[in-house]
Structure 1
């Protein structure tokens, strides 16, 4: 874990809480390398496409490479609100991340993330003039995960039927990165 930046105990506790949230989401998506990135096009309609994502560090930032001349850049400059959808059907796991995106030319981060596998899109490598980074700062995440064992699903269904409760298929959880552990909005504190 990186050094905490908070100057008070309260700020450090909030940082730790944020890191716990980030790690929970990062653990869920660590084996899913492709996310569907949704932006809003110039007609105001959602536009989705698959994008390769990198492992998420404790800062929570989700990084992707993109071409500077792509429609994504124009869409993000007009409306930075994006959605990432991750899917792992083998484990009945589905995750949505809402965040704010920005285009970055950070050469240190490009160097850190670069692999020759990306030469298919950026033939001049990490110095390709069309290469940029997409930096997504998550604001909220939600995931759904069902037990991947049929027997566990049957037992849960029978148990809920006997008790008169509705069948709940696995776990569903929302994670808000914009509130601290007291439920206060970080933008207003």
Structure 2
């Protein structure tokens, strides 16, 4: 694919939902819809907000393997990125993606112990468009 980072980045930036998967304690995939990443660096690094006390965080602490998926339903195309998740709880990371209104989810503010950042690092991907799929390495 020519200019994969630009094509995939544009697709990602236009989505209002991200699908994120973890592996549970029995080895099964668990997928959930989340708000889109608060920040991305190319198509390699993605930053999401979540609750430290969540089941998903517990799963990532046990097994950091993950994937994220973005779907453009209008044009029936999508991208799956495979990689790993880190749980970031330092103030610098939390402040980096904090937004006004986040106290709705984290009432104690940016230092709320139940607020953390999921940093996804992509290693490979698969892009689907025009009735064909293409694998790529990041």
Q: Report the TM range for the smaller structure's normalisation.
A: 0.7 to 0.9
Task: Tell me which residue corresponds to 1:172.
Answer: 133
Higher helix share: 1
Tell me how far apart the structure 2 counterparts of residues 81 and 55 of structure 1 sit (CA, whole Å). Answer: 20
2:28 aligned with 1:45: yes
Instruction: Compute the TM-score of the two structures, normalised by the length of structure 2.
Output: 0.85
Tell me how far apart the structure 1 counterparts of residues 4 and 129 of structure 2 sit (CA, whole Å). Answer: 17
**Partner secondary structure for residue 9 of structure 2:** helix
Tell me how far apart the structure 2 counterparts of residues 81 and 99 of structure 1 sit (CA, whole Å). Answer: 6
Tell me how far apart the structure 2 counterparts of residues 118 and 88 of structure 1 sit (CA, whole Å). Answer: 26
Runs of 4+ with >6 A deviation: none
2:120 aligned with 1:136: yes
Tell me how far apart the structure 2 counterparts of residues 76 and 143 of structure 1 sit (CA, whole Å). Answer: 24
How far residue 125 of structure 1 moved from its aligned partner, in angstroms, is 2.1
Tell me how far apart the structure 1 counterparts of residues 90 and 45 of structure 2 sit (CA, whole Å). Answer: 14
Task: Tell me which residue corresponds to 2:14.
Answer: 31
User: 1 or 2 for the larger relative contact order (CA 8 Å, sep ≥6)?
Assistant: 2
Q: 1:125 aligns with which of 80, 91, 109?
A: 109
**Partner secondary structure for residue 56 of structure 1:** strand
Number of residues of Structure 1 aligned to a counterpart in Structure 2: 135
Any unmatched runs of 5+ in structure 2?
A: none
1:1-189 matches, within 5 Å, as 22-52=5-35, 53-58=37-42, 60-146=44-130, 169=131, 171-177=132-138
Structure with larger Rg? 1
Tell me how far apart the structure 1 counterparts of residues 57 and 127 of structure 2 sit (CA, whole Å). Answer: 27
Tell me how far apart the structure 2 counterparts of residues 174 and 89 of structure 1 sit (CA, whole Å). Answer: 20
Instruction: Compute the TM-score of the two structures, normalised by the length of structure 1.
Output: 0.64
Tell me how far apart the structure 2 counterparts of residues 135 and 119 of structure 1 sit (CA, whole Å). Answer: 21
